[in-house]
Structure 1
């Protein structure tokens, strides 16, 4: 995840909730993508450091267990700089320009100058993040499938040009970069406080770290079914953003009360919003409790990230020790190690 500040419920339900489950089923790598933040926020990096820490805290608070998975900071693993540069040598410019999010972001983020080499190469950086760990699967929602397909194309092109030299775990002539598969993860519809998709750019988020009183203040003025103008008017939870919150967070018993009470005008919107807030408070209580423990022990957080950085570097370097010789970069003319190897 890009470090743009503390994470919100949309981040949790869209990714983190699934990550917590997947860490028990796969060898998983989760990182704070501070390099990604620079592709659009290069002009003001004053918040990147604190945002990186906040995202790491939310990772741990949500339930990512450093004993079960690897949690690290992207820029602390130098192959995340190296592999994109090498893959850039073989990636056609047209592939980058046709990525849908490239033009969409340029159209939407009009206050920023995104006509940079870094922003154009952003999809290749994401592809490198995946290929660096020779990943079999990438857990994404439907909207991110295009990025995984781009990654597959890059891997396919690399494998056409270069083969294993036989000095690593793969036999000579074997393919080095596996084409990763999409692991579609459920991402429920989660509206923000204004009814639109929950997003920091809209200013309509509920943070995982919001205290209960702040959370209730955010939910209280939420928009509801526009057909329900007066208290006595019946409504439809399927046309109400608060109803969408109930579908994600409330129990079946509460959901039944919401449908019955709303459609018969037996309950008011204030009461319905209170029930939604109750369910979210219950969900966030253990998350916030874990976050508080980590906040009180910053040395432990540093130790977890340091160990995660170490494990990620070791795994990434395994890949680079296959990539470099395949591209003819392993040794210099005197037989010494390549610069990338010497700094490890």
Structure 2
């Protein structure tokens, strides 16, 4: 029997290089292994937990994000690509799991207080925000997912799901769900234009939707090694956001040349950026072509999501039959 992999993203619209080479590149790599069944979804209900006031934007953002997925190489023939809200069973399992989840567990989730501090109480004073880890757990276990691709910093979030699985199975007296394991992935460090982590919220990102000219303008103003105030100052390439992109888009042998020349002040930041722009635009060119083609064929993209959601729903329905039987035929709960 194939193992199941599941992952998803909130619909934020067009994706930037951090999204593409952080999570999506790994998704595309995993689709080459036929020993897995893979589910990738748009977490549009999750987007409502902090963005209900902008809910009208979600459909278009969903479409734009999935277009970037497909343009980058995620294959709808090899993966089930779907929308969370089109599979209503997620909501039913979320409701049932909410009945057994201690509030204290939710308040201990690592990102809970951080998100409140970052987003403010106005956006986070709702039950949906407090309970989002339960919805996240439902998303994963409804497909009996064995593996969830995550970075090391996200393992704690997955542990909540594992704990909830143990709690549910204990209460109903049978192993309805399996404990999902983290599939640790190496996430390349990608800095934005201002030297901070590349993020849409920081307005420092380079997007797949950017033209060659827009990409060139952004790279031109990108922060470099702060030690290099003059061209004659030696630099430390590993601490430079521009070189971090070279490590993705520039051939290995050329990377070493640039690194060595930077450390000896034999190359200036302007020249370093010029080389990056050339390599970056060459790498993104076929992906941009795919993206433009899909933008002119949105009906096909919508149909991919409809078909994928129907397939996901079949799997979810089977799980929910087990869940209802486990809960309502159990004398300790009924």
Interval containing the TM-score (normalised by the shorter chain) = over 0.9
**CA contact 1:127–1:147 (8 Å) conserved in 2:** no
> How many Å separate the matches in 2 of 1:145 and 1:80?
22
* 1:6-64 per-position Cα deviation (integer Å, ceiling 9, x unaligned): 11110111100000011232211001111010000012212111101111111111111
Aligned to 1:10: 18
Q: Aligned partners of 1:278, 1:80: CA distance in 2, in Å?
A: 45
Indicate if the aligned counterparts of 2:31 and 2:78 stay in contact, CA closer than 8 A: yes
Matched, 1:242 2:250: no
- Written as runs of structure 1 = structure 2, the 5 A alignment for 1:1-344 is 1-25=9-33, 26-110=36-120, 112-163=122-173, 174-328=174-328
Number of aligned residues: 320
Secondary structure at 1:71 match in 2: strand
Moved over 2 A (4+): 110-113
* 1:281-330 C-alpha deviation (Å, 9 max, x unpaired): 12212211111121111221122111101100001111101001111189
Q: Alpha-carbon deviation of 1:248?
A: 2.5
State the secondary structure of the residue aligned to 1:42: helix
Q: Secondary structure at the match of 1:36?
A: helix
Q: Distance in 2 between matches of 1:113 and 1:67?
A: 38
Q: Deviations over 1:105-147 (max 9, x none)?
A: 0001127431110000011111110001010110111111111
Tell me, what secondary structure is at the counterpart of 1:28? strand
* Cα distance in 2, alignment partners of residues 80 and 283 from structure 1: 38
Tell me which moved more, 26-35 or 226-235: 226-235
Decide whether the 8 Å contact of 1:40 with 1:112 is kept in 2.
Answer: no
Show the counterpart of 1:341.
Answer: none
Deviation at residue 275 of structure 1 after TM alignment: 1.4
SS in 2 for 1:227: coil
SS at match of 1:45: helix
More helix by share: 2
Tell whether the 8 Å contact from 1:20 to 1:63 is kept in structure 2 after alignment.
yes
Q: Give 1 or 2 for the bigger CA radius of gyration.
A: 1
Query: Structure 2: any 5+ residue segments left out of the alignment?
Result: 1-8
Moved more, 111-120 or 151-160: 111-120
| Cα distance change of structure 1 residues 195 and 20 upon mapping to structure 2, 3 Å threshold | same
**Unpaired stretches in structure 1, ≥5 consecutive residues:** 164-173, 331-344
Q: Which residue of 1 aligns with 2:6?
A: none
**What corresponds to 1:339 in structure 2?**
none
